[in-house]
Amino acid sequence: MEHLDKSIKFPDNRNYEYAYNQSFQLAKERLNGITDLTAQCQKSGANYDVLLKTITVDYLNAKYIVALPDVGISVSGGNETVPIRDKILILHYILTAKGTPLSNQQITFKELPEGIVYFRTFYQRTIKHIVANFSRQPDKLIEVGEKLGGHKADFGDAAVTINVLPRIPVTFIVWRGDEEFGAEGNVLYNSTITDYLPVEDIIVLSEVVTWKLVRPVHG
């Protein structure tokens, strides 16, 4: 454990509670306003049960149930409370999905629309912590990522691709660094990601997964 980032501070989202609640309420209204939920869910890779009025979607190696019309969101077979940011991401994903097939092209955050504008924020919330916690123990990134349903990818000194949502694979990469170059990290997305989430949500999704990777390392 001597290589961990001792200064790490996990995010406190209390200051954003009002904004998150407002965003969640708007997403609930939009979901209930969709006339053909079956078709929209097919675009996202989710499943809509007309009789039960529930949507089932895979998110970070677990099945989540969205119960209509109140839009209660729970983990299938679990009792844990779903954080509001996860709820918003799930709803925004279902609402935004265009059904675009995944491409063979991967892109960095800077290649997203306005990615350069938001990159500093993105870096501070994601890459900085991936480098700080895994550059000296790259194999740990793969080990922790596999517990989130990820699989090893052939990038850097270690990389793991995690299917965060059915059509959103995200690859986290780390390089050890040496005497000449410092440790580095990066995140890759399928080029179709903006057909499934807006850029602001991509930042949040990346941060959420980053903390799910980092927390187990800190016990």
- Which DSSP letter does residue 36 get? -
pLDDT at 218 exceeding the cut of 90: no
9: pLDDT strictly greater than 90? no
Amino acid at 163: N
What was the pLDDT predicted at 18? 85
All residues at 6 or more sequence positions from 85 whose CB lies less than 8 Å from its CB, including other chains: 13, 20, 204, 208
Could you tell me the pLDDT band of residue 219, with boundaries at 50, 70 and 90?
A: low
Question: Residue 13's pLDDT band (boundaries 50, 70, 90)?
Answer: low
Mean pLDDT within 68-85: 94
- Give the predicted TM-score (pTM) of the model: 0.90
Whether the per-residue pLDDT at 43 is higher than 90: the answer is yes
**Whole-angstrom Cα Rg for the chain:** 18
- Per-residue CA distances from 102 to 58, 59, 112, 182, 191 (Å): 17, 17, 16, 33, 8
pLDDT per residue over 124-167, tens digit each? 999 999 999 999 999 999 999 999 999 999 999 999 999 999 99
DSSP letter string, 83-100: PHHHHHHHHHHHHH---P
